[in-house]
Amino acid sequence: MARIVFHLPAQFGFSTELQVYISHVNHGGHLDNAQLLSLVSEARVRFFRSLGYSEGDVGGLGTVVGDMLAQYKSEAFHGETLRVQMTPQDFNRYGFDLVFCMTEVSQGREVARGKTGIVFIDRTLRKPAPIPESVRQQLLQRAAPQQ
């Protein structure tokens, strides 16, 4: 099977720190893959909060995850603090990719990288909706410069 190759942007527009709790660790003694997604989800909620929104109301629209890509770089262990950096990129009419890089704080060891496809939805119609222009402008301010 071919391996995923995913390149990170040079800069990120948002950063938050999360603790690895014992409930995040699997029988192998390291961060469980499903719990990695949970930590990325928490970081995503904090990203939207930093813009003044809840995940359920971003400029009057809801958001859903359309897809997710994760590439593991090293293990993470109970008690470690992880820094999750995020930046929006690859905008389309209905959403964008929220790129992330997760590193262990004390050593700077990269744990994982990837992206989450964010889709804006009209909750009443239960259909994708265009990104509100005011939200797009806020996201562009946090976006990584094009290389």
Nearest alpha carbon to residue 93 among 138, 129, 139 = 129
The fold adopted by the segment(s) 14-142 is: Thiol Ester Dehydrase; Chain A (3.10.129)
pLDDT in tens, 116-126: 999 999 999 99
Q: Mean of the pLDDT values across residues 125-146?
A: 91
Q: Is the pLDDT of residue 134 over 80?
A: yes
Phi-psi region of 47 (alpha: psi -120 to 50; beta: other; left: phi over 0): alpha
Amino acid at 15: S
pTM exceeds 0.85 for this model = yes
